[in-house]
A and B are shown apart, each in its own frame.
Chain A
Amino acid sequence: KAGVTQTPRYLIKTRGQQVTLSCSPISGHRSVSWYQQTPGQGLQFLFEYFSETQRNKGNFPGRFSGRQFSNSRSEMNVSTLELGDSALYLCASSPGTGGRHEKLFFGSGTQLSVL
């Protein structure tokens, strides 16, 4: 089985621009979650999509948005980039059916640098 694929791997943007990140989950997984990871704040939950619907949301401003397509692929968009948005953005897929044995499988991440 192919793992979770995130593109692009690296991205450099300037303040005020917008960016779109992509995530292809493991085949058969219906849940995709996004996380922001910075050295100071650790792993912060952005949102989770399940069957094209946002099921959970973290405490991030409206500049951060996402969507999921019918094939479970997901995109995350950040508008009006700020310097503080520089981080490793991780996508994780899971079956999404719930239960105590639910597990997250992470991609390698997109390293975003905002200049």
Chain B
Amino acid sequence: TQLLKQSPQFLSIQEGENLTVYCNSSSVFSSLQWYRQEPGEGPVLLVTVVTGGEVKKLKRLTFQFGDARKDSSLHITAAQPGDTGLYLCAGLGGYNKFYFGSGTKLNVKP
């Protein structure tokens, strides 16, 4: 079983602060994806990282894939209330199967 652990589970910060969410596993993944989900809606894909050590930037969001392709991090600079939501990481394993982390619930207060 390929398990992905996310930390922290909950995060409540003020607008303008920086934060980092971690996604760790003992298994190797072909790629790793990050999704954001708002209440009552389905997750929306933010980014896919496929190469060990890869760093991708999406405006104020920076995603990194670990060198060994077992872990990833999401860093948000100067968080805004619009960043509020549930952040999920998902690793792509064998047989085209995705493994989801438990999620990080982020609340950014104005």
Contacts and interface: CB of A to CB of B under 8 A. Distances in A.
18 contacts: A42-B100, A42-B101, A42-B102, A42-B103, A45-B97, A45-B99, A48-B96, A55-B95, A56-B96, A56-B97, A100-B50, A100-B92, A101-B48, A102-B31, A102-B92, A104-B90, A106-B42, A106-B44
B100 A100 contact: no
Interface stretch (A11-19, A66-74, A78-86, A107-115): A107-115
Interface string B68-110: 0000000000000000000010101001111111110000000
B31 A106 contact: no
Contacts of A63: none
Interface size range of chain B in the complex:
20 to 34
Given A55-B96, A100-B30, A101-B50, 5 more contacts: A43-B88, A45-B99, A50-B96, A55-B95, A111-B40
Interface in B47-62: 48, 50
Interface size range of chain A in the complex:
20 to 34
B97 A104 contact: no
Contacts of A32: none
Given A103-B45, A104-B90, A98 B96 contact: yes
Classify the interface of chain A: helix, strand, loop or mixed.
strand
A92 B53 CA distance: 28
A33 interface: yes
A5 B97 CA distance: 22
Interface of A: 4, 31, 33, 35, 42-43, 45, 48, 50, 55-56, 88, 90, 92, 96, 98-109, 111
A104 B98 contact: yes
Q: Which 4 A-B pairs have the closest CB atoms?
A: A106-B42, A100-B31, A43-B100, A100-B50
B44 A31 contact: no
A45 B4 CA distance: 13
Contacts of B92: 100, 102
A35 B97 CA distance: 12
A3 B44 CA distance: 11
A108 B88 CA distance: 16
